[in-house]
Amino acid sequence: MQVIVRDNNVEQAVRALKKKMQREGLFREMKARKAYEKPSERRVRERAQAIARQRKAARKRLQREGLLASPKRRPSAR
């Protein structure tokens, strides 16, 4: 993973790096690897994640087809 530092602005580069790491799921993986997870717990977690993915995909499909209302957008604070 690479981030370019422009005009010696390290803080901006660090923010960009954190955003990239978040998007790639690196923080979630580091947290998961911090402690041992029993194989039975892993199976339960993976099964729950698969169900959540399926529900999300079904919800998005229904929204695209117009059978389910889209979520309301929050007004920006600008």
% the chain with pLDDT above 90? 77
Above 90 in pLDDT, residue 78?
no
* Mean pLDDT across 15-40: 94
Q: Is the pTM of this model over 0.85?
A: no
Query: Coil, strand, or helix at residue 53?
Result: helix
Length of the chain in residues, anyone?
78
57 band by pLDDT with thresholds 50, 70 and 90 = very high
d(CA 68, CA 59): 8
